Amino acid sequence: MEEYKKKVEEILDKLAIDLVMLDPQATEKLAAVQGFFDELVGAIEGAAPKPLCDFAHGLHALAERMASGEYPDPDQGCKQLADGISLFQECLRDADDVDAYADRISDFLERCGLCGKTSVTQEIESPEDDREDKPAMDILQDKELVESFVTESLEHLETIEVNVLSLEQDPQNIEVMNAIFRPFHTIKGVAGFLNLADINRLAHEVETLLDDARSEKVIVDETVTDLILDAVDLMKSMINHLRQAVESGMYEEGDFGLEAFLDRLRRVQAGESESACQEIDHTPRADGADVGDILINKGVVSEEDVAQALEKQSNTGQKLGEILIEEKKTTARDVAGALRDQRKLRGDAPVTQKKQELAAVVKVDTKKLDNMVDMVGELVITQAMLSQDISMLAAQDKRLYSNLSQLGRITSEIQRISMSLRMVPIKQTFHKMIRLVRDLSKKSGKLAVLEMVGEDTEIDRNMVDEIYDPLVHMVRNSVDHGIEAPEDRRAAGKPETGTLTLKAYHKGGNIVIEISEDGKGLDRDRIIQRAIERDLISSGQDLSDQDVYNLIFQPGFSTAEKVTDVSGRGVGMDVVKRAVEKMRGKIEIQSEKGEGTTVLMKLPLTMAIIDGMTVRAGDRDFIIPTMSVVESVRPERSAYTSVANQGEMIRIRDNLYPLIRLHEIFDFEPRHKAPWEAIVVVAESDGRRKCLLVDDLVGKQEVVIKSLGEHLKNVKGMAGGAILADGRVGLILDVAGLFEMGEGSVVRG
């Protein structure tokens, strides 16, 4: 397969997943999806037949209109995008037969009102056209949204500056252009949503310039890169003005010379010659080809500044220009000019490092934070190993024992503090659901209110983004499938307005998120009927309520009588389950017909540490997540039996549980093969329970999760590894995977 096809298929797969979970009203999510369409256009441009390129541009146009709030029916737009992705995937498989799909693409674009659109710059009407129809922004009412926009936009602009420096070194690099285009597009989309017209217009015009550069209508030279940096400076001024307005609660239009700058930008786009950087002398001097020398010769920095930066460079390996920018000794624009002069003299490598901005709070790169947490985990492991190695000596030496105890307390406190740095309140995620419930209620003709409990409960910041999509989907289902129409609620003796409750709390070392509603509840008989129709179960099965409710997590399962704009296609519940399990969590459903349904998502407090029970089988140690352990027993000989077509079973209090032998799955020699001589651990997953055969229980402990590497990350039955207190490596078991592997176990007599 041609290289472009592989990349396009990857992008389409990402888009297909994102569109399943997409809330059409979530502007930030729409902007993120738009980024994938940017990649799609970049990957296919010039590599695929023209109909496919036109198709990519058309879908890009539709996504952009939705992200900027210009599309009249967001739900219809999402459906068109999903249909377009499906058609694109089909056409890509027959990309060599243009005539076979060209007409279908043309018909699709015409139905979507995108006929004849072949360029991003042609697809979108200027945001100037309808901005006067939008109401003025209310700073106080939209304060939280504006604060979030200001913070994220300034971060995007920092990224743009760094990438412009890279573009200076490699003007033809499409990936770098895309990396500059995407943040401008995100800023434009959110600014349009907030009706920040001037910021929206500026971002739109720069986008147009960049798109012309990508299609080689504009040659990227020092004039273009300086113009982009000037646009960044202008946008920073506008956003900082907005930040001051938010802090003061008063918003007044500022005069930033926007019209003059836009005129200058359009003249450059039209090919008119201009010196975009007249205030800086970029003439290279012959007495130095290093960036530092060039900046000193220009009078931008002092020799002392460069000397200090060089000293830091020797320790960190960062680029000199980046260090000077970080320490506020110069600007990205000055460094860009120096790099350009350096290239004229001898050429140099592109700058790719990021820079940080000093703000009112300390901003820490998340990678650095994660590395620190990992090292603290190593410290805890080493402390435990040290304590075990010299435990005999410590028992005889009171001073040594006291010092070891103090070391243990200190390392535990360091671990607690480092983990708390990664924790953020779930409040912001919960608050995003208020608008969602309001819009869903209007669309479905139902009355519903949202109540929130435990908003200050903290969750690992790495899990915030992961939990958002499953939460959105469950809220949508609760309103669409759970809460009844007002007339139905009156007939059932309920208030016309249904109540949806989001609750978060800590329990047993986990965080639990509850989504509950007082609707009609799940119809057990209807679920069973639909499962029988789809051959998921047989009519004679005696299933518990939990087993029945778990059927709705099967791919494509739906009991909806008709498809709605909100749900009913049978897409998403299996995605929700996979998303929760990816975070090492569990999802459970409790429901009572006529009273309502509660969905519980049980998640670990952190993704870095797991609370587990260490067991030993043969000469190997395994860790079973505590939340999956029900109990452990040494069964009587009479409790062991075999059941036809089900294999080995263990009877515990009148319940038969299948037996899984770890030594058979992982191929090692155990100390005990007879269950009555060993120990069985009863584990639970998805409401099912099975017994794991082990030799000994070592104890319960928290361990730092270690990746097994790329080659083993998808192996069933293994969730990761951990270094134990004795220095040995323990395998963290994936209980759901073990259950699946144990389905085909051999029946024993």
Q: What is the pLDDT of residues 654-710, one digit of tens each?
A: 888 999 998 888 889 999 889 999 999 999 876 688 999 999 998 887 777 777 776
Check residue 341 and give its pLDDT: 65
Alpha helices, H only, 194-331: 197-214, 222-248, 258-269, 291-297, 303-316, 320-326
> Which of 114-122's residues contact partners 24+ apart within 8 Å by CB, and which partners?
114/58, 114/61, 114/62, 117/54, 117/57, 117/58, 117/61, 118/53, 118/54, 118/57, 119/57, 119/211, 119/215, 120/41, 120/57, 120/60, 120/61, 120/64, 120/207, 120/211, 121/208, 121/211, 121/212
**Please, which residues bridge with residue 504 across strands?**
513
pLDDT score for 136: 44
Residue whose tokens read 């395998």: 731
pLDDT of residue 747: 37
Asked whether residue 93 carries a pLDDT value surpassing 70, the answer given is yes
Judged against a pLDDT cut of 70, whether residue 273 lies above it is answered with no
70 has a pLDDT exceeding 70: no
The amino acid that residue 405 corresponds to is: S
- SS3 at position 441: helix
Q: What is the DSSP string of 53-93?
A: HHHHHHHHHHHHHHHTT--S-HHHHHHHHHHHHHHHHHHHH
pLDDT tier, 22 (very low <50, low <70, confident <90, very high otherwise): low
Pick the more confident residue, 726 or 347. Answer: 726
Q: What does pTM read for this prediction?
A: 0.48
Model confidence over 31-58: pLDDT tens digits?
Answer: 667 667 777 777 776 677 777 777 888 8
pLDDT at 440 over 60: yes
CA separation for the pair 471, 506 (Å, rounded): 17
Q: When comparing pLDDT for 310 and 140, which is higher?
A: 310
For range 303-332, the mean pLDDT: 74
- Summarize the confidence of residues 160-175 as an average pLDDT: 79
The answer to which of 197-211, 316-330, 542-556 has the lowest mean pLDDT is: 316-330
- Of the listed ranges 427-436, 557-566, 705-714, the least confidently predicted one is 557-566
Q: 3-21 vs 74-93: helix axis angle to the nearest 10?
A: 150
C-beta of residue 149 within 8 angstroms of C-beta of residue 194: yes
Mean pLDDT of the chain: 76
Q: Taking the alpha carbons of 238, 240, 241, 245 in that order, is the dihedral positive or negative?
A: positive
Query: What percent of the chain has pLDDT above 90?
Result: 9
pLDDT band for 749, please (50, 70, 90 cuts): very low
Q: For residue 526, with 0-12 CB atoms within 10 Å meaning exposed, 13-18 middle and 19 or more buried, which class applies?
A: exposed
DSSP 8-state assignment for residue 350: P
Strands in 586-592's sheet, in edge-to-edge order, are 448-453, 498-507, 510-517, 596-604, 586-592
Other Cβ atoms within 10 Å of 272 Cβ, number: 10
Average pLDDT over residues 126-149: 55
* Residue 640 to residue 677: CA distance in whole angstroms: 11
Region 744-749 average pLDDT: 41
Residue 516: predicted pLDDT: 93
Instruction: Specify which residues 617 forms β-bridges with.
Output: 620
pLDDT of 500: 93
Local structure of 358: helix, strand or coil: coil
Where residue 644 falls (left for φ over 0; alpha for ψ -120 to 50; beta otherwise) is beta
Spatial distance between the Cα atoms of 558 and 654, rounded to a whole number of angstroms: 34
Distance of CA 434 to the CA centre of its chain: 21
SS3 517: strand
Residue 25: per-residue pLDDT: 61
Q: Would you state the pLDDT for residue 598?
A: 93
Q: Is 208 strand, coil or helix?
A: helix
pLDDT in tens, 385-428: 787 778 777 777 788 888 888 888 888 888 778 877 878 888 87
Taking every pair of C-alpha atoms in the chain, what is the biggest distance, in angstroms? 93
Q: Which tokens go with 459?
A: 């969750």
How large is the C-alpha radius of gyration of the chain? 30
pLDDT at 359 over 80: no
At 138, the amino acid letter reads D
Query: What confidence score (pLDDT) does residue 30 get?
Result: 66
Per-residue pLDDT, averaged over 525-546, amounts to: 79
Taking CA atoms, 532 is separated from 55, 523, 731, in Å, by 41, 14, 38
Q: Which residue has the higher pLDDT, 447 or 274?
A: 447
Using CA atoms, how far apart are residues 266 and 285, in angstroms rounded to an integer? 32
Work out the average pLDDT over 85-103: 74
Q: How many CB atoms lie within 10 A of CB 464?
A: 15
For residue 455, the one-letter residue type is: E
| C-alpha distance across the termini of the chain, in Å | 51
| Residue 560 pLDDT grade (very low, low, confident, very high; cuts 50, 70, 90) | low
Asked whether 267 and 274 are in contact (CB, 8 A), the reply is yes
CB 252 within 8 A of CB 206: no
Least confident window among 470-479, 664-673, 724-733: 724-733
Q: How confident is the model at residue 540 (pLDDT cuts 50, 70, 90)?
A: low
Residue 12 is predicted with a pLDDT of 78
Separation of alpha carbons 695 and 202, rounded Å: 68
CB within 8 Å of 545: residues ≥ 6 apart: 524, 591
Query: 120 with 211: CB under 8 angstroms?
Result: yes
CA distances from 687 to 263, 432, 474, 523, 633 (A): 65, 31, 19, 19, 20
Per-residue confidence (pLDDT) for residue 277, from 0 to 100: 39
